[in-house]
Amino acid sequence: MQFDHINIVVADMDRALAFYSGLLGLRRSFETTLQGEWVETVTGLPEAHARCVFLEADAPGVRLELLQYFTPAGEALAPNRLPNTHGLRHLAFAVEDWAALEDLLARLKTAGVPIVSEPVLVPFQVGNLGRKKLFYFSDPDGTILEIAAYQQE
C-alpha cells in the first residue's frame, strides 16, 4: 500500500490556490468538477457538487487535493483548528534545509499568514533523517500546516 493523496476542503478555491500554489509553490496538476451519482454515493452527500484541484510538489510523492463544495455547503468548526482535536490535525511539508525553512517563514510573515510559533528545534534525532526544525502556521481556512527541515549532525 502507498499514500495516494491528502484532501483539504476549502471555503474559497481561488483563495486556496493563491495560498497553496502562489505562496507555497505547489503546481496544479489536475482540475475537474465532481458531481453525479458516483460522488453522492462515495461521500454520502445527496446532490454533492464540488470543484476539485490537485496540486503537486516538485519531488514526486503524495498529491494534495483541494475541494470546494458548492452543494451541500459545509462549515468551519472552531475545534478543528486546535492541534489536540481528534482526527487529522495537520499536514507537514519538508523543505531542503534550515535556510529554506527560514526563507519560507519570512515569505509567509510578509504575506500576513498566521504563524503559530517561530521555528523550534526538536531535541532529538528523528530516525535517520537527523535533527528537525519546524514551525506551524494556518492556511486561509484555518487548516494547521507544518514546515519542516532536517539536518544531519
The amino acid present at 8, given as its one-letter code, is I
Q: Please report the pLDDT score of residue 132 as a whole number.
A: 96
Give the helix/strand (H/E) hosting 124. strand 120-125
pLDDT in tens, 129-138: 999 999 999 9
pTM strictly above 0.75: yes
Q: Please report the pLDDT score of residue 84 as a whole number.
A: 81
The separation between CA 4 and the C-alpha centre of its own chain, rounded to angstroms, equals 14
Contact 150, 131 (CB under 8 A): yes
Cα–Cα distance for residue pair 72/50, rounded to 1 Å = 9
pLDDT in tens, 45-89: 999 999 999 999 987 788 999 999 999 988 888 777 778 877 788
